[in-house]
Copies of this chain bind each other. A is one copy, B any other.
Amino acid sequence: MDDYIKRLDQIRKWLVKNGLHALIIPSGDPHQSEYVAEYWKAREWLTGFTGSAGVAIVTQDHAHVWTDSRYFLQAETELKDKPFGLMQKSAKTLGYVDWLKQHFGKGNIIGIDGQLVSESQSRKYENGFSDKGIEFLLVDDPFSEIWESRPSFPKTSIFFISEETQDRTRIEKIQFVRNHLTESSADAMIVTDLDEICWVLNIRGSDIQCNTSVVSYLVISSQSVDLFIDREKVPAEIQKIFENEGICLHTYRYIRGFIMAQERETKWLVDPAKCNASLFALLSTENVMEETSLIYLEKAIKTPLEVKAIKRTMLKDGVALTRAFMWLENTLESRSVSEDEFAKMIADFRSKQKGYFSESFPAIVGYQAHGAIVHYRPTKESASLINNSGMLLVDSGGHYESGTTDITRTIALSEPDQKVKAHYTAVLKGHIALASVVFPESTRGVHLDALARQHLWAEGLNYGHGTGHGVGFFSNVHEGPYGISPMIGGERNRPLKAGVLITNEPGFYLEGKYGIRIENMMLTVLHSATEHGKFLAFETLTWFPIDLACVDFRKLTRDEIYWINSYHNQVREQLIPLLSNPVEKFWMIEKTKPIPFGKIG
């Protein structure tokens, strides 16, 4: 407690010294990453709240943390003995911007570290506050003066992606950007998004947990390519290759100086949704051309070699999960297993597959009531003991050199009752409806979302998260700009295109009891081109049995039974040759037994 009071006190002194009345402390990094390196977890250090999403506000009289429903429980526990109050984001409570507008007015100044906020978001703050005459200020990192024993700056080595998965060389990708510069009559593009930089340069790293990205900036102009990364992170042989290819290395923090040193007339292409506000502020506005990043859009369309690799990866992942779930079943016969231990075992089984790199996100192993906490992640302290009864939800994924995976299965550890079966069956029917849909090419995720929910809706049920998100290639497990959700005009709602890799993950959560989610990854593919236009469809890529013990067969249509049988048939045919012993093979045969057609209702 004393530590946290001291930290808060330091921030308040910093506010006074800098003439600010309030400071917004978000969870981001200078690259608007979803996951951030320890070095940037200032909000966590200051408040003690470790959830990945949350904003702290510090004024002389108040200190609060705002977070959403995923983290209410965790935040309540973690903030209990801290000097920060918890503000639960909901329709009923004030958001932090409205709260600030209620507490401050003309003559007040509110600041934020301009590196931790995108230019677009910064404009929204500015507009919001200016209504009330509040001044909004971008400041330099306040924690650089305050945070003692701050974690060191990320400095893992970078490496090249495998040539087997590389359809385009660095040179070709740089040329692709340069062609766009020419078309747009621009001189240079600033790339700040870490996975965009990795994509262009065909590199990866491990600067951030569960990520494959490299903390850096990239500037591509018609003449030069400048990569801002601490040189010690670039192995000598890569330095040499970069040099040959005309890619200049600069120290990471020199990006600001570099931008300032450019000629004033330089015409910049910048994505204001990605570029941080401090960096953006260095550009003279009349020479900035704003647009959604070309790389962001291109990266989401998976290439033939990437697709080939992802398909191989899915088989490895299926084998690893087979072993993990078999291990659980066997172990439960003699003892209980903590959620935490099972999460580790899953990663362990994955790590035995060739080309494995890391988890693609911290696994969610939610036993019974924990399954109903949508973003639950077991820790040593929180973990329940799994035993031979009830429901278990497991959402996990891996980064492999040959692609990134994300899969959720929910299994019954004892005979489920009718209520569980009704919920599970409604979720499964929605999953199948989305997996089977054919749609014209202008269709967006928002149009398809109801297909996955309709059977839950019919029973007065629903789930509070989106139905699908894009997945990167050996890259971010959550990737824009495509998604499937009811959000209108959201960031991730573009018309779907062939080549988009996306998840299908309807669910249902009964608070205090259990959670159900069935998630496969799907590739968007061309289905047909007729005189009525082009039609797309989804090809399911994930191969692992769905637990039929939880399904009420009488509620399935003939088409749904056909889908399940055909899916399980493919799971079996593809995975059995990769399994090493008869016990594994027998397990797989058991789990993929066809549903008799006589069983429809």
A110 within 8 A of B: no
A416 / chain B contacts, CB cutoff of 8 Å: none
A459 / chain B contacts, CB cutoff of 8 Å: 438
Question: Measured between C-beta atoms, what is the minimum distance from A508 to chain B in Å?
Answer: 9
List which A552-575 residues lie within 8 A (CB) of chain B: 557-558
List which A422-454 residues lie within 8 A (CB) of chain B: 437-440, 442-444, 446-451, 454
A486 within 8 A of B: yes
- Given contact pairs A450-B451, A457-B437, A462-B532, A444 touches B488 in the complex (Cβ within 8 A): yes
Copies in the complex: 2
A461 within 8 A of B: yes
A residues adjacent to B (C-beta < 8 A): 437-440, 442-444, 446-451, 454, 457-462, 486, 488-489, 493, 527-528, 530, 532-533, 535, 557-558, 601
CB of A450 within 8 A of CB of B443, answer yes
A486 / chain B contacts, CB cutoff of 8 Å: 442-443, 447
CB of A438 within 8 A of CB of B460, answer yes
Which residue of chain B has its CB nearest to the CB of A533?
A: B462
A557 / chain B contacts, CB cutoff of 8 Å: 557-558
CB of A440 within 8 A of CB of B454, answer no
CB of A449 within 8 A of CB of B447, answer yes
CB of A437 within 8 A of CB of B462, answer no
Question: Measured between C-beta atoms, what is the minimum distance from A546 to chain B in Å?
Answer: 21
Q: How far is the CA of A535 from the CA of B454 in the complex (A)?
A: 12
- Given contact pairs A450-B443, A454-B451, A601-B558, A532 touches B489 in the complex (Cβ within 8 A): no
CB of B460 within 8 A of CB of A535, answer yes
Q: How far is the CA of A454 from the CA of B486 in the complex (A)?
A: 17
CB of B460 within 8 A of CB of A532, answer yes
Which residue of chain B has its CB nearest to the CB of A489?
A: B489
CB of A530 within 8 A of CB of B451, answer no
A527 / chain B contacts, CB cutoff of 8 Å: 460
Q: How far is the CA of A535 from the CA of B449 in the complex (A)?
A: 17
Q: How far is the CA of A457 from the CA of B434 in the complex (A)?
A: 13
